[in-house]
C-alpha cells in the first residue's frame, strides 16, 4: 500500500497540489481521474519521487520516501515500474533491448535468464517475436504502449504507475491495454496507480477511483459507487456527457 499524507507542491507561484491524503491499495487498480490541469501527472510524479514535494509524506508499505538512505531508495526504485504517457521508449534501442535495460542494470541474472525474462514479459503483453528486434519507431502507438508495460513489469515491481495509458489509442486498443494492466495487477498483486481521462476505464477497471479537482482530492470510491454517487464533484465530472446522463437516468429508473 502507498500512503500519501498532506502533500503540497508548487511551481513558482502556482500551487498545483494543495494537501492530498490518499491510500493506493495493493492488488488493485487505483485510478486518478480529473480534468486536464487538475494535477494528476504532478501527483503521480511526486509519488514516484520525480518531483520533490514541498510538504507532506509518501510511504511505500511503511517506508517513507525522503527518510530513506541511498541504498534503500535504490531498492525501492527497483520495485517501481512506470508507463509514461508517450511510452518513453528509448529510440536508439530495439524493443527487446528496451525491456532488457532494467535487467542489465539491476538484475542478477545470467544472459540466458535475461533473454527468457524479456521474452516472457513481451509475450505477456502480446508482442510477437518478429517485433523484438524492431525499433520503437517501427511500431504502432498501441504496440509501443504494450512494450512500455513490458519494460515496466520486467523487474517484477510491487508498484506500477501509468500516466494515461490509453490516451491516443482507438477505443478497442484502449480497452485491451486497460484489461492488460488490470490482469497484470491482479496476477502479480501489484499496487497500481493510473491517471486517466477515460470514463470507460473507470467502469472497466476502477477498483478504487480518486477524483482530483484543482489540486485536491474531491471524491474517492469504487466504480460501482461512481455510478450511484450524488456527490456534486462526481456528478459534475462524470455526468457532463449526455451519454452518461442518460445512462444514469436509466439506471436510476431500473
Partner 1 sequence: MIYRFLDGLGRYFLFLGEVFHKPEHGREYLKSFFRELELLGFSSIALVSFISVFMGAVLTIQTAINLDDPFVPDSYIAIAVREGIVLEFAPTIVSLILAGKVGSNIASTLGTMRVTEQMDALRVMGINPASYLVLPKLFACLLFNPILIVFSMALGLVGGYYAGDFLNLVNTEVFLSGYFMEFNPFYIVYSLTKATVFAFIIATVSAYFGYNVEGGAVEVGKASTKSVVAMSFTIILFNYILTDLLLQ
Which residues bind to partner 1, rule: CB under 8 A? Answer: 45, 48, 50, 73-74, 77-78, 80-82, 84-86, 88-92, 101-102, 104-106, 161
| Interatomic CA distance for residues 100 and 172, integer angstroms | 28
Per-residue contact flags (x/-) with ligand ATP for residues 225 to 244, judged by CB under 6 A:
--------------------
Task: Select from 9-17, 74-82, 109-117, 182-190 the region that touches ligand ATP (CB under 6 A).
Answer: 9-17
The partner residues of 24 in beta bridges, in order of sequence, read 2
Closest CB to Mg ion among 41 and 192? 41
Per-residue contact flags (x/-) with ligand ATP for residues 185 to 214, judged by CB under 6 A:
------------x-----------------
CB of 84 to partner 1, least distance (A): 5
* Sign of the alpha-carbon dihedral angle for 123, 126, 129, 132: negative
Per-residue contact flags (x/-) with ligand ATP for residues 81 to 120, judged by CB under 6 A:
----------------------------------------
Q: Which of 28, 30, 38, 41 binds Mg ion (CB under 5 A)?
A: 41
Q: Which of 2, 4, 7, 16 binds ligand ATP (CB under 6 A)?
A: 16
Task: Select from 20-28, 36-44, 154-162, 236-244 the region that touches Mg ion (CB under 5 A).
Answer: 36-44
Contacts of 64 (CB under 8 A, 6+ apart): 57, 58
Among Mg ion, ligand ATP, partner 1, none, residue 104 binds (CB under 5-8 Å by kind): partner 1
Asked if residue 13 binds ligand ATP (CB under 6 A), the reply is no
Owner of C-alpha cell 457532463: 240
CA nearest 73: which of 83, 65, 82, 81?
65
| Interatomic CA distance for residues 164 and 196, integer angstroms | 5
Ramachandran class of 154: left when φ > 0, alpha when ψ lies in -120 to 50, beta otherwise: alpha
Q: Which of 20, 29, 39, 46 binds ligand ATP (CB under 6 A)?
A: 39
Instruction: Report the Cα–Cα distance between both ends of the chain, in Å, rounded.
Output: 37
CB of 195 to partner 1, least distance (A): 13
Task: Select from 33-41, 119-127, 141-149, 212-220 the region that touches Mg ion (CB under 5 A).
Answer: 33-41
Most distant CA pair in the chain, distance: 61
Positions in the binding site for ligand ATP (CB under 6 A):
11, 14, 16, 34, 36-42, 197
Chain residues that interact with Mg ion, rule: CB under 5 A: 41
Amino acid at each position: 500500500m502507498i500512503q500519501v499524507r498532506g502533500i503540497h507542491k508548487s511551481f513558482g507561484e502556482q500551487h498545483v497540489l494543495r494537501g492530498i491524503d490518499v491510500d493506493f491499495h495493493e492488488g488493485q487498480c487505483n485510478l486518478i481521474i480529473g480534468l486536464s490541469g487538475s494535477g494528476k501527472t504532478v501527483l503521480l510524479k511526486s509519488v514516484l519521487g520525480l518531483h520533490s514535494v514541498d510538504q507532506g509524506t509518501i510511504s511505500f508499505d511503511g517506508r517513507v520516501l525522503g527518510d530513506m538512505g541511498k541504498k534503500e531508495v535504490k531498492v525501492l526504485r527497483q520495485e517501481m515500474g512506470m508507463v509514461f504517457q508517450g511510452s518513453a521508449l528509448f529510440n536508439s534501442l530495439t524493443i527487446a533491448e528496451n525491456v532488457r535495460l532494467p535487467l542489465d542494470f539491476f538484475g542478477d541474472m545470467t544472459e540466458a535468464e535475461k533473454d527468457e525474462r524479456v521474452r516472457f514479459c513481451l509475450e505477456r503483453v502480446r508482442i510477437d517475436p518478429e517485433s523484438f528486434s524492431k525499433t520503437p519507431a517501427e511500431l504502432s502507438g498501441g504496440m509501443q504502449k504494450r512494450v512500455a508495460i513490458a519494460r515496466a513489469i520486467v523487474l517484477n515491481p510491487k508498484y506500477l504507475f501509468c500516466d494515461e495509458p490509453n490516451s491516443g489509442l482507438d477505443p478497442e486498443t484502449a480497452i485491451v491495454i486497460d484489461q492488460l494492466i488490470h490482469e497484470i495487477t491482479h496476477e502479480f498483486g501489484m499496487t497500481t496507480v493510473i491517471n486517466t481521462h477515460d470514463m470507460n476505464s473507470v467502469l472497466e477497471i476502477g477498483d478504487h477511483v480518486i477524483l482530483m479537482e484543482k489540486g485536491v482530492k474531491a471524491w474517492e470510491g469504487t466504480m460501482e459507487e461512481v455510478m450511484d454517487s450524488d456527490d456534486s464533484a462526481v456528478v459534475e465530472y462524470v455526468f457532463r456527457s449526455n451519454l452518461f446522463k442518460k445512462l444514469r437516468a436509466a439506471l436510476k429508473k431500473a
